[in-house]
């Protein structure tokens, strides 16, 4: 079963976050469920104002969105304040900006799977940053979503699920390290 939260390519991040919360914390199941609604809200705002499609904006829209959703989920489950939940999501997106979608042979496999693993770690770190920082953030969640939209529009089509650039075409080069 694949739960597209928000997409197939980024379907590992939310489940990984849930597994961590279920297995390694004492967060009640009901709270995790409510946290998923918060995560869904974050994903919905991004979908409406930018995109959650790698074919439209690159991988930042898929893995970046999933990471922002998971960051909000973590923050909610660990009793962060509302502004900290939103800041956690903002930070997660910020550090995915510019990430290309360049799956080898166009298959949602490499680098996608590892990006999911990294995305959930970034989500947790974003939650930590949002809840421990002492300074005020300079950029809002809405602003970073708009930046993601603009950055994605500027990306070459080569990096939007076409497998025409980046990792997709460098795979198998004779001059690559280890080849």
The residue from 52, 62, 77, 149 that contacts ligand SF4 (CB under 6 A) is 62
Beta-carbon count within 10 A of 33 CB: 10
Query: Does 59 participate in binding ligand SF4 (rule CB under 6 A)?
Result: yes
Q: What three-state secondary structure class fits 132?
A: helix
CA distances from 119 to 16, 61, 124, 143 (A): 10, 12, 9, 21
**Complex with ligand SF4: residue 37 or 117, whichever CB lies closer:** 117
**Complex with ligand SF4: residue 39 or 63, whichever CB lies closer:** 63
**Complex with ligand SF4: residue 41 or 108, whichever CB lies closer:** 108
Report angle CA 37, 99, 171 to the nearest 5 degrees. 125
- Kindly give, in sequence order, each residue whose CB lies less than 8 Å from that of residue 7, ignoring residues fewer than 6 positions away: 52, 53, 54, 62, 65, 66
**Complex with ligand SF4: residue 12 or 87, whichever CB lies closer:** 12
Stretch that binds ligand SF4, among 14-22, 35-43, 71-79, 108-116 (CB under 6 A): 108-116
Query: Does 119 participate in binding ligand SF4 (rule CB under 6 A)?
Result: no
**Complex with ligand SF4: residue 34 or 164, whichever CB lies closer:** 164
Stretch that binds ligand SF4, among 15-23, 71-79, 100-108, 131-139 (CB under 6 A): 100-108
CB crowding 142-152: b at 16 or more within 10 Å, else e: eebbebbbebb
Residues at the interface with ligand SF4 (CB under 6 A) = 9-10, 54, 59, 62-63, 101, 103, 108, 111-112, 115, 161
């Amino acid at each position: 079963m694949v739960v597209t939260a928000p997409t197939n390519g980024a379907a590992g991040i939310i489940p990984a976050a849930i597994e961590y919360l279920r297995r390694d914390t004492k967060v009640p199941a009901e709270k995790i469920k409510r946290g998923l609604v918060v995560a869904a809200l974050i994903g919905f705002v991004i979908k409406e104002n930018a995109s959650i499609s790698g074919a439209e904006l690159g991988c930042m829209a898929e893995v970046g969105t999933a990471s922002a959703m998971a960051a909000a989920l973590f923050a909610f489950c660990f009793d962060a304040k509302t502004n900290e939940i939103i800041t956690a999501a903002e930070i997660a997106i910020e550090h995915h900006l510019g990430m290309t979608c360049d799956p080898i042979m166009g298959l949602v496999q490499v680098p996608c799977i590892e990006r999911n693993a990294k995305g959930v770690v970034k989500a947790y770190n974003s939650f930590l940053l949002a809840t421990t920082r002492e300074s005020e953030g300079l950029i809002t969640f809405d602003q970073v979503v708009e930046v993601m939209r603009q950055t994605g529009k500027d990306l070459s089509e080569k990096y939007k699920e076409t497998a025409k650039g980046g990792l997709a075409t460098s795979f198998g080069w004779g001059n690559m390290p280890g080849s």
